[in-house]
Structure 1
Amino acid sequence: MIEIHNIHKSFGDAPILKGVTCTFETGKCNLVLGGSGTGKSVLLKCIVGLLKPDIGSITFDGTVFTNNKIEIRQEIRKQIGMLFQASALFDSMNVFENVEFPLRMLTPDMSRAERRDRVEFCLKRVGLEAAGNKMPSELSGGMKKRVGIARAIAPNCTYLFCDEPNSGLDPLTSIKIDELIYEITHEYNITTVIITHDMNSVVEIGDHIVYLHKGQKLWDGTKDEILNAQVPELKEFIFSSSLVRAAKRIEMEGGSLEEIRQEPSKDI
């Protein structure tokens, strides 16, 4: 569990985060939802330690991260896996070497054979067991995301952060990446935090959702609750998606999630 309390962050005279408080639960896909410029990425950078909050605290499973000793912060960072928006694979390394990289950096006592076994396990888990010798330039966008996920979970991460994991992907591939993140989160009981503006992801995998607007948390809840949220800014945001409009219509008719997936283009 990750607990965020009263986080403020400004750049110069421009306030970006204005007292954000929320909890990200273990074993769930926690989505930070909002439009561009709402502070989602700044919040993520504060949580993982790339930025220091001006005010507030961040706690990982009861251990304070903010302003703690550097040794404690480093131990927490070793438990963090990160899936970057553009995958951020090393062009000069093949797939196997990319996935092995965090093991070489974070687990120096692991033998070469142990690293090989771990990399092969992670590649098999994301469906790329035959792609170890391929270079990033030979991969599709979806394959690069899968390699990024394999690299993130290779060190047995406790916390997984995903920055716009569906960015640049076609709708079908986006759903497959969502499903993979969801499966890994629940299978390994990871605390997963996903930065997104994609309402399709909310409908598919939103165990817990935090909605940010202009640097403030205006709502949090589950994917089952979001369609009935009474926050005007959130209602305007979510019903811009045809899939969510279809979800609301089918919900009102007493339908199922499977019907929502099959009828994404119909309006309420």
Structure 2
Amino acid sequence: MIEVSNIEKSFDGTPVLKGISCVFETGKCNLLLGGSGTGKSVLLQCIVGLMKPDIGSITFDGTIYTNSKVDIRQEIRRKIGMLFQGSALFDSMTVAQNVEFPLQMLTPEMTPEERRDRVEFCLKRVGLENAGNKMPAEISGGMKKRVGIARAIAPQCTYLFCDEPNSGLDPATSIKIDQLIHEITHEYDITTVIVTHDMNSVIEIGEHIIFLHQGKKLWDGTKEEILNATVPELRDFIFSSSLVRAAKRIDDETEGGIAAFAEEGDAGAGI
């Protein structure tokens, strides 16, 4: 579990995060939802330690991360896996070498044989067991995302952060990536935090959703609750999507409508 308490962050006197407090639950897909420029990525960077908040604290499973000693921060960072928006693979490395890279950096005690075994396991887990020798330029966008996921979980992470994991992907591939992240989260009991503005992801895997607007947290809840939320800014955001308007109609007409809608979407995508 990750606890964020009263985080504030400004740039050149302009506030970007305004007293945000929230909890990211273990074993769930926690979505940071909001439009562009709402502070989602800045909050993510503060949580993983790429930025230091001006005010507030961040706690990982009871250990305070902000303002801790260097060795404490380094120990927490070893438990963090990151899936970047553009996958951020090294073009000069093969798929297998990309997955092995964090093992070389973070687990020097592993032997080369142990690293190879771990790479093979992670690639098989994301369905790319035959792609280890390929270069990033030789694989599709969806495959690159899966390589990014394999690299993120290679060091056996406790916390997984995903920045717009569906960016640039077609709808069917997006669903597959969402489901893979969801499966891995539950399989390994990871605390997963996903930055997104994609309502399709909310409907698919939104077990815990935090909505940001103009640097403030305005709402949190589940995908089952979001369609009936009364926050005006949230309603304006979610009902800009025709998919969600359709889900709302089903929700009004049937019991458990949004779950039924998601199941129908899965069947239609051939997953």
TM-score normalised to structure 2 length: 0.96
Unpaired runs of 5+ residues, structure 1, are: none
How many aligned positions are there?
Answer: 264
Asked if the contact 1:5/1:22 (under 8 Å) is kept, the reply is yes
Determine the structure 2 residue equivalent to 1:87.
87
Determine the structure 1 residue equivalent to 2:19.
19
Aligned ranges 1:70-219 → 2 under 5 Å = 70-219=70-219
Asked if the contact 1:218/1:231 (under 8 Å) is kept, the reply is yes
Report deviation, 1:89: 0.1
1:254 to 1:60, Cα distance in 2 relative to 1, 3 A: same
Code of the aligned partner of 1:211: F
Code of the aligned partner of 1:254: T
Report deviation, 1:199: 0.4
Task: String of CA shifts for 1:34-71, please: whole Å, max 9, x gaps.
Answer: 00000000000000000000000000000000000011
**Over aligned residues, Cα RMSD in angstroms?**
1.1
* Partner secondary structure for residue 243 of structure 1: helix
Asked if the contact 1:246/1:260 (under 8 Å) is kept, the reply is no
Report deviation, 1:77: 0.3
Q: Tell whether 2:229 aligns with 1:232.
A: no
1:213 to 1:262, Cα distance in 2 relative to 1, 3 A: same
Task: String of CA shifts for 1:141-182, please: whole Å, max 9, x gaps.
Answer: 000000000000000000000000000000000000000000
Code of the aligned partner of 1:40: K
Asked if the contact 2:204/2:262 (under 8 Å) is kept, the reply is no
* Partner secondary structure for residue 31 of structure 1: strand
Code of the aligned partner of 1:34: G
Cα distance between partner residues in 1 of 2:87 and 2:265? 31
* Partner secondary structure for residue 228 of structure 2: coil
Asked if the contact 1:250/1:260 (under 8 Å) is kept, the reply is no
Cα distance between partner residues in 2 of 1:237 and 1:176? 24
Report deviation, 1:13: 1.3
Report deviation, 1:259: 3.7
Code of the aligned partner of 1:201: S
Cα distance between partner residues in 2 of 1:232 and 1:36? 17
Cα distance between partner residues in 1 of 2:130 and 2:62? 40
Q: Tell whether 2:28 aligns with 1:40.
A: no
Task: String of CA shifts for 1:218-261, please: whole Å, max 9, x gaps.
Answer: 00000000000000000000001111111110010015434455
1:109 to 1:225, Cα distance in 2 relative to 1, 3 A: same
Determine the structure 1 residue equivalent to 2:67.
67
Task: String of CA shifts for 1:174-222, please: whole Å, max 9, x gaps.
Answer: 0000000000000000000000000000000001000000000000000
Determine the structure 1 residue equivalent to 2:220.
220
* Partner secondary structure for residue 122 of structure 2: helix
Determine what percentage of the aligned residue pairs are the same residue: 77
Code of the aligned partner of 2:165: P
Asked if the contact 2:41/2:163 (under 8 Å) is kept, the reply is yes
Report deviation, 1:263: 7.0
Cα distance between partner residues in 2 of 1:262 and 1:122? 30
Asked if the contact 2:2/2:59 (under 8 Å) is kept, the reply is yes
Asked if the contact 1:243/1:260 (under 8 Å) is kept, the reply is no
Asked if the contact 1:178/1:204 (under 8 Å) is kept, the reply is yes
Code of the aligned partner of 1:29: C
Cα distance between partner residues in 1 of 2:107 and 2:263? 42
Determine the structure 2 residue equivalent to 1:8.
8
Asked if the contact 1:29/1:192 (under 8 Å) is kept, the reply is yes
Cα distance between partner residues in 2 of 1:154 and 1:92? 19
Cα distance between partner residues in 2 of 1:161 and 1:259? 27
* Partner secondary structure for residue 133 of structure 2: coil
